Structure 1
Amino acid sequence: MTDDALPEHAYYCFEVIRATLRRTRAPPAPFDGDQAYPLFVTWNIRSRSGGEPRLRGCIGNFGALRLADGLAEYAKTSAFEDSRFDPITAKEIQRLECGVSLLTEFELCADWRDWELGVHGIYVEFVNPALNLPPQDEGSNGTSDRAGADSPPNGSTSYRSLNELPKLRVRVSRSQNPRGLATTLHATFLPEVAPAQGWSKQDAVDAAMRKAGYRGTVTDEMRRNARVSRYQSRKVKRSYDEWQAWRTDQGYEA
């Protein structure tokens, strides 16, 4: 078993959208489809005049999915259902490239700085500031006598998916939360986002808090009391031309 993303993963995504557009059945997955990973599928497209490819669709899931099923589902979802874009058409396929990201090594950080730019994605959880809860004596990584978080394990325990990570849970009374607000807020950024945006670690954590819905000023106390987790991404990217060469090698019909 390997955590590496393979060229065949991207080729299979091409096969899936080709079959969808032609209303035919895609061939079987050309890899071990029973392994399970959280994953994202990204489609980029080259302009007719050249230049760097631009994003055409990207959707994924942070729960571990059987690889063959997950790639088939998100190849189609990212190609045809990303709300930011029109569905991909048959005329565009020749200009596409496909990226597959397998997410691995989900770990709790010792504090909000305990991750590496360009290597790790981050998942940030924090108590909803709108609750106006009184300050508590916080421990490492957002645990307190109020926060009923799953206990962080000792050592560098690694999890297979975001769903398996111990989560921050906050117990509040009905009188403290009469409007039934979410007690915690959370957001994530994939590993490539912070370098692409030119962010520092603080920039990335603050941006995650704003992405989660917080509109105020992020304070040092909020960063210290947040629970930050990290994960890595094994990526592969292949173009239409590379896919076509592979199809020929496999003896697939044109």
Structure 2
Amino acid sequence: MASGCCGKKYVTGQGETNLNQRCVDKGNCTKGVQKSTIVNNEMCYFCFDVLLCHLQNSDPPKSPHFTNQSCPLFVTWKIGKDLRLRGCIGTFSPMPLHNGLREYAMISALKDSRFAPMRLEEVGKLHCSVSLLTNFEDCRDCFDWQIGVNGIRIEFRNERGHHKTATYLPEVSKEQGWNQAQTIENLLRKGGYQANITPEFLKGVHVKRYCSEKVTVAFSEYAAVRGIKKATSTAANVPCHRSLPPYPPPSVIHHRRSSREKNSGFINQLVSANSSKNRQQPHSFPKD
């Protein structure tokens, strides 16, 4: 199953496998990224190769030379000097890296539902990031993870009893300036949960934390390595995507400020309780 790091998920032909499987087992992660990594710049170069070959209607690139071991992975595209999100989709099912990056370089560039498909004119302003996910662990509760260190994946049942999942990569909460409670709230809204968030509901949310190995490459670096003398993009002059902010996700329209002012007393209490609690003790939630 494929998933957006901050958007709707896409189902592929793969079944989801054991999330405790790791592509790398090097101990605990620091700042959300493994110290000993297998990720490298060549993976981002390959993603650029795949995207450019498609946009230029040329033959697909040959298989790369980096490792082809299987990993859960995400490919993220950002654009411009302010690094606006342009696409981010990946999979929690371990995939051989050669095929996985080839597939998700395209999916994240062309099929992220929040954005129009990538155009050739945009490529020169892109940054590509590859994240390989590692060290999956079950959390004791919704707050058993660290901001800037762990990504989280939640599973829950929505108001209609349908099973839903959503994820944020390790860097998301820190980049957005969210605390743990705000991250959980936004992630639930992203996953399509529209009702009030109560202590009883949170007890039924299953959270799995993970780390990532991440590398980011700008098009300028890629062009220098590949010997591309002239940038192919004038993205600054092109309407590159729909005017939808990537965070919070589109589903937040069901959770507007007006409703927060009326109904969000719980989440404010949750933020306060979470910031002052002793992590050695069970979480205490306000009553409904």
Q: Name 1:212's counterpart in structure 2.
A: 191
Give the aligned length: 193
Within 5 Å, give how 1:180-219 maps onto structure 2: 181-182=161-162, 184-219=163-198
What is the identity percentage for the equivalent residue pairs of Structure 1 and Structure 2?
42
Give distance in 2, aligned partners of 1:129 and 1:88: 35
Which of 72, 87, 99 is residue 38 of structure 1 equivalent to? Answer: 72
Q: Name 1:95's counterpart in structure 2.
A: 125
Give distance in 2, aligned partners of 1:211 and 1:80: 20
Deviation at 1:129, TM superposition (A): 5.2
Structure 1 residue 242 corresponds to structure 2 residue 221: yes
Structure 1 residue 226 corresponds to structure 2 residue 256: no
Q: Name 2:96's counterpart in structure 1.
A: 66
Deviation at 1:187, TM superposition (A): 2.3
In the TM superposition, what whole-angstrom CA distance separates every residue of 1:136-185 from its partner, at most 9, and x where no partner exists?
xxxxxxxxxxxxxxxxxxxxxxxxxxxxxxxxxxxxxxxxxxxxx42x44
Deviation at 1:3, TM superposition (A): 4.2
Within 5 Å, give how 1:9-24 maps onto structure 2: 9-22=43-56, 23-24=58-59
Give distance in 2, aligned partners of 1:234 and 1:210: 27
Which of 115, 132, 138 is residue 145 of structure 2 equivalent to? Answer: 115
Q: Name 2:41's counterpart in structure 1.
A: 7
Deviation at 1:223, TM superposition (A): 2.3
Give distance in 2, aligned partners of 1:7 and 1:113: 33
In the TM superposition, what whole-angstrom CA distance separates every residue of 1:26-76 from its partner, at most 9, and x where no partner exists?
03213012x111111111222xxxx41222222211211110001001111
Give distance in 2, aligned partners of 1:193 and 1:53: 13
Q: Name 1:28's counterpart in structure 2.
A: 63
Give distance in 2, aligned partners of 1:113 and 1:225: 13
Counterpart of 2:165, as a letter, is H
Deviation at 1:225, TM superposition (A): 3.6
In the TM superposition, what whole-angstrom CA distance separates every residue of 1:194-232 from its partner, at most 9, and x where no partner exists?
122222112222222333332222122322342211011
**Judging changes above 3 Å, is the alpha-carbon distance between structure 1 residues 126 and 92 closer, same or farther for their aligned structure 2 residues?**
closer
TM-score normalised according to structure 1 size: 0.69
Q: Name 1:85's counterpart in structure 2.
A: 115
Unaligned runs of 5+ in 2: 1-23, 25-35, 229-288
Deviation at 1:122, TM superposition (A): 1.1
Of 61-70 and 209-218, the range deviating more from structure 2 = 209-218
Q: Which has the greater radius of gyration?
A: 1
TM-score normalised according to structure 2 size: 0.61
Deviation at 1:128, TM superposition (A): 4.5
**Judging changes above 3 Å, is the alpha-carbon distance between structure 1 residues 57 and 207 closer, same or farther for their aligned structure 2 residues?**
closer
